[in-house]
């Protein structure tokens, strides 16, 4: 049974700044790749009624149920799809969208649902899948992947300096008993790295890394950017909110490359690549939450918003 009052636990990040960059207009056609609790979707819908349309994606059936209830007043204007945002091209034809937003990562609702296994703050089954019926769970990965692969994701996605110690400890412990819960994994990580003097819990980085691996989150960001550009019409706007430096780097590099007319090395006198700019950046530097927002919603502290307009 899903507690539909949970959506109030997720505050949409940089909502006003997003709307100022998106400029949603009545009658327009927009997409929200990450519906979550429906905060950004609701703001877009308010701006585009009576005749605008919104496509809203989420991989999480619980988010769809919760946000679906919230967006009921806009039922004629919104189509909610249980699919990955990378498949935008299957729902919107080329050169059709006026705006597309993706707000990456995990929602507060998902963190708060013990049984989803995203958080080490509550003991639950070690799952972490956005869509609980698709792909490998965190327990599948932690109990089966070779030690080197575990160390690599902890290092790469979590920037965890003690990645090797943690991977070694996981592999030693799983010989005794399968690791099934967030509590077990938290204890193993804490034993491997010690409590230390850091402000964050020692399991924070490892949990984030495993979640990114479980959901193929970086591959999804790589895939959605060109797909979004195809679906947008000229003048359409693409907004991405990221919470991880690797995600932001993917967006930054994509925007940089796609805003240039030529990608030939600077020493080459004549262009031979024929590359044409397909977008203009609206944010030269990433937009971040201000102090007041961070005070009210600490989750917004690490958010980076980048936006571009299709040429």
Ligand X SMILES: C[S@@+](CC[C@H](N)C(=O)[O-])C[C@H]1O[C@@H](n2cnc3c(N)ncnc32)[C@H](O)[C@@H]1O
Binding range to ligand X, per CB under 6 A, among 99-107, 203-211, 284-292, 302-310: 99-107
**Interaction residues for ligand X, span 19-48 (CB under 6 A):** 33-34, 36-40
Nearer to ligand X, 33 or 124 (CB): 33
CA neighbor of 18 nearest in space, from 310, 283, 295 = 283
Q: What tokens appear for 129 in the block?
A: 């899948």
Nearer to ligand X, 124 or 202 (CB): 124
What does the radius of gyration of the chain's CA atoms come to, in whole angstroms? 21
Interaction of residue 63 with ligand X, rule CB under 6 A: yes
Binding range to ligand X, per CB under 6 A, among 51-59, 148-156, 159-167, 190-198: 51-59
Phi and psi angles of residue 40, each rounded to the nearest 5 degrees, phi first: -70, -40
**Interaction residues for ligand X, span 110-139 (CB under 6 A):** 130
Going by DSSP bridges, is the β-strand pair 97-103/53-57 parallel, antiparallel, or unpaired?
unpaired
Report yes or no: 238 and 310 within 8 Å, Cβ to Cβ: yes
Write down the least CB distance from residue 52 to ligand X, Å. 18
Q: Is 308 left (phi over 0), alpha (psi -120 to 50) or beta?
A: beta
Q: Where are the beta strands (DSSP E) in the chain?
A: 29-32, 53-57, 78-81, 97-103, 232-242, 279-281, 304-310
Interaction of residue 85 with ligand X, rule CB under 6 A: yes
Interaction of residue 225 with ligand X, rule CB under 6 A: no
CA neighbor of 179 nearest in space, from 207, 208, 158 = 207
Q: Which residue number has the CB closest to ligand X?
A: 36
Write down the least CB distance from residue 132 to ligand X, Å. 10
β-partners of residue 309 are 237, 280
Write down the least CB distance from residue 67 to ligand X, Å. 7
Q: Which residues bind ligand X (CB under 6 A)?
A: 10, 12, 33-34, 36-40, 57-60, 63, 84-86, 103, 105, 107, 130, 220
């Amino acid at each position: 049974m899903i507690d539909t009052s949970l959506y109030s636990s997720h505050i949409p990040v940089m909502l006003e700044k997003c709307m100022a960059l998106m400029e949603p207009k009545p009658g327009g056609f927009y997409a929200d790749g990450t519906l979550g609790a429906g905060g950004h979707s609701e703001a877009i819908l308010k701006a585009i009624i009576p005749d605008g349309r919104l496509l809203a994606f989420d991989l999480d059936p619980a988010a769809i149920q919760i946000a679906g209830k919230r967006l009921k007043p806009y039922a004629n204007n919104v189509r909610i799809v249980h699919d990955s945002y990378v498949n935008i091209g299957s729902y919107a034809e080329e050169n059709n969208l006026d705006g597309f937003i993706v707000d990456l990562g995990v929602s507060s609702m998902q963190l708060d649902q013990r049984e989803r296994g995203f958080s080490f703050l509550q003991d639950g089954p070690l799952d972490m899948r956005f869509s609980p019926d698709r792909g490998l769970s965190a327990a599948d990965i932690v109990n089966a992947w070779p030690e080197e692969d575990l160390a690599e994701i902890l290092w790469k996605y979590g920037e965890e300096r003690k990645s090797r110690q943690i991977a070694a400890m996981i592999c030693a412990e799983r010989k005794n008993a399968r690791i099934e819960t967030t509590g077990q994994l938290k204890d193993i990580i804490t034993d491997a790295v010690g409590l230390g003097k850091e402000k964050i819990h020692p399991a924070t980085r490892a949990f984030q890394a495993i979640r990114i691996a479980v959901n193929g989150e970086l591959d999804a960001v790589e895939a959605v950017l060109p797909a979004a550009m195809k679906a947008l019409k000229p003048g359409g706007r693409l907004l991405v909110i990221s919470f991880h430096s690797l995600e932001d780097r993917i967006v930054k590099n994509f925007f940089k490359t796609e805003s240039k007319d030529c990608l030939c090395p600077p020493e080459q006198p004549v262009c031979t690549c024929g590359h044409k700019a397909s977008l203009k950046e609206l944010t030269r530097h990433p937009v971040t939450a201000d102090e007041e927002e961070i005070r009210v919603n600490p989750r917004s502290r690490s958010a980076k918003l980048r936006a571009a307009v299709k040429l």
